[in-house]
């Protein structure tokens, strides 16, 4: 009996058969399945090395991209470029946020200045009206 792993269970076939030895029907089913599977090459006759389209060698798998495209996925240089790009984008976003904050502060300062000037103008007008009223009152009382 070959010492290959049963798909999905990560268990050698011999151990699986030993585990099921009390159930003859189960052992018969396992042996029937083993008879159906090819016992020769890793990937069968169409793929003797057992490689998929993303693999260069057995165990060397770039599971994100093909090797003939620009470096991406598991590649270190791609990671460094991506981090630099994200850092640049983050710096630009921070700069835009700072500019927006400064613009907001400038607008608030302008509005506060206008409100202060309006208040001072109102107080000056009220003071002028009060002075005129006092002048009229003084003139009326003095009889001039």
Instruction: Please answer whether residues 62 and 70 qualify as being in contact, where contact means their C-beta atoms are separated by less than 8 angstroms.
Output: no
Average confidence (pLDDT) per 10 residues, the chain, 144 residues: 56 82 87 68 56 55 55 70 83 87 94 95 94 86 76
pLDDT of residue 34: 76
pLDDT of residue 61: 56
pLDDT of residue 94: 85
Residue 37 and residue 5: Cα distance in Å, rounded?
Answer: 12
- Our CA angle for 53, 78, 57, nearest 5°, is 30
Quote the strand ranges of 1-144, DSSP E: 5-6, 11-12, 55-57, 60-61
Q: What totals of helices (H) and strands (E) does the chain contain, helices first? A: 3, 4
pLDDT of residue 100: 92
pLDDT of residue 41: 44
pLDDT of residue 142: 81
């Amino acid at each position: 009996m070959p010492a290959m792993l049963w798909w999905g269970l990560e268990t050698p076939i011999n151990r699986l058969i030993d585990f099921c030895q009390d159930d003859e029907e189960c052992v018969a089913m396992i042996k029937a399945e083993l008879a159906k599977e090819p016992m020769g090459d890793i990937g069968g006759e169409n793929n003797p090395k057992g490689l998929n389209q993303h693999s260069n060698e057995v165990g060397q798998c770039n599971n994100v991209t093909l090797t003939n495209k620009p470096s991406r996925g598991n590649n270190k240089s791609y990671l460094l470029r991506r981090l630099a790009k994200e850092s640049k984008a983050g710096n630009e976003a921070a700069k835009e946020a700072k500019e927006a904050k400064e613009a907001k502060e400038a607008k608030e300062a302008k509005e506060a200045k206008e409100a202060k000037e309006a208040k001072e103008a109102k107080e000056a007008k009220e003071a002028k009206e009060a002075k005129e009223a006092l002048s009229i009152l003084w003139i009326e009382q003095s009889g001039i």
